[in-house]
Structure 1
Amino acid sequence: MNNRYAGALNAARQFWLAWAIGAAMAAVMLILALAEDLPIRDPDDDILPSYIRMPLIVFGTILVDILPRMAHRAHVRSAWSPRALGGLWREVVAERWPASHWWFAINGVIAWYLTYATFRNIKSMAPFVNGADWDPTMADIDRFLFVGHDPAAVLHAWFGTGLMAHLMSAVYVVWIVLIPTSIAIALVWTRHTSAGSWYVTAVAVDWCLGALLYLLLPSLGPIYAQPGQFADLPHTFNTTLQEGLWTDRTAVMADPWAADTLQTVAAFASLHVGIMMTICLIARLVGIPRWAQLTAWVFLGLTVVATVYLGWHYAVDVVGGLALGAFAVWVAGIATGNRDGWRVRLRSGSADSSSPAHPEELVSRSAPRPDHPAAD
């Protein structure tokens, strides 16, 4: 096969499940839109449309990959003239961005965004497809799990409703930034493509399962079903976000064609928790540095507390999210050829052990390594 197309075909194979999920979700989205007479919208067109914003994000992360290496080499070699910098640009691009990695990054970004955009649209359509309300059931399960108490009320009593509210709000803001950053790390900055495709495919599975659950078990979440429980919390960015999402939902439910937005209110399962669980397990199984693994697990714990404390989700939504995130890692591991790596690490209990079935040595550090002066 022509080498020009071999890289493209290999990249498509690495993301075959993500592409299949995206195509299936796009078909479901189109069927629901036609059946319920609902619009399909760009989920993030408030600033720039996706076809402009996504290339800018990808190009920006590529520059972050290239420019620091150029600057380091220019400093080591005292080569700051325009001609020398041009040569360094070509040198670093040739090392870091061969055609195979361009195909890998482009395939991964498009496949991931297809699942994300269709997920957001299906989530918006869920109340029109299934008008059931599972909030009372979820609240009853929570009170059973907490021996007759509401989990959010328990957390408010334990941690108070002052400074903790601001801390939990900050956790939600960080999560919003974390997801696109993690995708950039997996597709642009790492050179361990098996690990990168594993993670991106797992997130695609998360979106797919989340959309399915929102269709089957629609619920609003405690902050909307029982707002009185959260009246003592101070006004934070989280409050503004919750109010904005409810305003969007009200507009969409009144007239989805006139609303010019999507509604994104849904509770079971918590994808904040689910995707963080996916991040933690992938980090463990591919063997990134231990400090990064610990940071991820701590942030997962904070996300679990925040999502219940702030009223976004019921405790049972958290349980569902944990299970969803773990299942996505398992399925994506099989689809991307990482099944043996999963088994070996679970048996050994060590992220530093390597599977002989993996010549790419998934447990190697996935972060880009800095250039060493001696290598220049």
Structure 2
Amino acid sequence: MVEAVLAKFNIRLELDRDNLARHQILLLLFLLQALTVWSVLTFNGLSAYLSLSLYAGPMYAALSLILFGKVISYLLRFVRYEKSEKTPTRMLSDFRDGWLNADYLLAFSIPILFLPSFISLFSSLKTVIPEINGFYLDRTFAELDRFLHFGIDPWVITHSIFDGPVSAGVLDFCYKLWFLLMFIYVLWQVVNVSQGHRRAQFLCAFLLIWFVLGNVMAVLLSSAGPCYYHVVMPGNDLYAPLMNKLGLYYEELKAAGGFLQLDSHNMQKQLLDYYQKGELGAGSGISAMPSMHVAVSALLYFSARELNRYAGRFFLAFLVLIQVSSVHLGWHYAVDGYFSIIATWGLWRLSGWLVARYTSDQETAWSR
């Protein structure tokens, strides 16, 4: 009876071997991260911080918008058909061929089911980094920043180029825009399964940078960042001039009441409050090295340049803006971003190799 129903609606259950292999890789990465985070938190007596649903609401809400857009694309395709083809049967046929098959359902379901928990586990571990390995590298990174920039603090350079509250407000806006662009791009990759190996490489690299850089390296290279230097290095507030200047810009922009604001100022206070209270929440956790803002921006560039040169140029410019913003606003040392770009490139190449190694795909970034 089941077979008869499937045959009637032409629902295909056969799985493409390469598609199955790609998503086995993703599933193994999900499970590896979950096992690692659970083990680390349990071993350190911090299992109370373990959360699987911290970001489920926002991610599924964003997904609903993406799915709505995909449905609209089907309707627009229907409008372009010849009059004789504009029938409910043709629309159902398009939907069935595009969605009701095992390959599409597998490719769509694996990331959708696991990504919210993956990001929640990332935050769970990030929140307790100082409990596992206290911030100990801030002085080193501050000195390395100054050494690499010929004895000048990088924030002094950015503020000499982008001076004043308006410039700070623009960079702050770009820093906030990162969240929106990341979610849109990732969810677009999730639903756009026709991208094949490019999609698999992107999703694999996305998981690796959050796990390897955002969790593993963040614990090993534990540091708080310039805006919290006075907290982790009491009595040696090296970045007081930067933070005082940003505080003045915050007040000026707030008094002006315009579109541009310095929301980073409040976000830094909120994260410090989470840190001091030892609470887990959306976005909680202090960690400077590596910079996930820069790492994700680099990944978007590496992926987008494979689509077309205009998308590549846009995300390259965005990557530069995020690197500058992270230093200008006191979130990161410049070396945090430099390290993140190099490491992300390596993980992007590794992801391309994995996709090629365990599937028959030949056209991967590993060969370019």
Q: Shorter-chain TM-score: what band?
A: 0.7 to 0.9
- CA deviation map 1:93-133 (0-9, x unaligned): 22432322121011133344443222221111211111242
* TM alignment of 1:277-296, pairs within 5 A: 277-284=298-305, 287-296=306-315
Query: Does the aligned pair in 1 maintain the 2:50–2:121 contact within 8 Å?
Result: no
Give the TM-score of the pair, scaled to structure 1: 0.79
One-letter code of the match for 1:205?
Answer: L
Deviation at 1:212, TM superposition (A): 0.8
| Letter of the structure 2 residue corresponding to residue 161 of structure 1 | G
Query: Which residue in the other structure is 1:238 paired with?
Result: 264
1:223 matched to 2:227: yes
Distance in 2, matches of 1:85 and 1:244, equals 55
Show CA shifts across 1:127-170 (max 9, x none).
11112421000000001011111111221122103211011111
How far, CA to CA, are the matches of 2:193 and 2:106 in structure 1? 14
Query: In 2, are the aligned partners of 1:271 and 1:321 still within 8 Å (CA)?
Result: yes
- Equivalent residue for 1:60, pick from 61, 65, 83: 65
Question: Which SS does the other structure have where 1:232 is aligned?
Answer: helix
- Structure 2 distance, partners of 1:262, 1:249, is 11
Alpha-carbon distance in structure 1 between the residues aligned to 2:114 and 2:160? 44
Give the distance between the partners of 2:156 and 2:140, measured in 1 at CA. 18
Match of 2:49 among 4, 20, 40: 40
- Compared CA separation, residues 63 and 77, structure 1 to 2 (3 A): farther
From 215, 218, 233, the counterpart of 1:214: 218
Matches of 1:64 and 1:292 in 2, distance apart? 20
Q: Distance in 2 between matches of 1:9 and 1:147?
A: 54
Residues in 1 aligned to 2:351 and 2:66: alpha-carbon distance in whole angstroms: 24
Query: Residues 22 and 118 of structure 1 are in contact (CA less than 8 Å); yes or no, is this contact kept in structure 2?
Result: no
CA distance 1:344–1:13, shift in 2 (3 Å): closer
Amino acid aligned to 2:331: W
Identify which of 314, 333, 358 aligns with 2:352. Answer: 333
Tell me which residue corresponds to 1:272.
Answer: 293
Percent of aligned positions that are identical = 19
Secondary structure at 1:15 match in 2: helix
Please tell me the residue identity of whatever aligns with 1:319. Y
Q: TM-score, normalised by structure 2?
A: 0.80
Which residue among 197, 202, 205 is the counterpart of 2:200?
Answer: 197
CA separation of 1:239 and 1:314: change in aligned 2, threshold 3 A: same
Between the aligned partners of 2:140 and 2:362, the Cα distance in structure 1 is 37
CA contact (8 A) 1:330 1:339 kept: no
Classify 1:333/1:339 alpha carbon distance in 2 versus 1 (closer, same or farther; 3 Å): farther
Structure 2: tracts of 5 or more residues without a match? 4-10, 230-238, 251-261
Residue 342 (structure 1) aligned with residue 350 (structure 2)? no
Deviations 1:172-224 (CA, angstroms, capped at 9, x unpaired): 11101111111122121351121111101001010112211111111111111
Aligned residues: 329
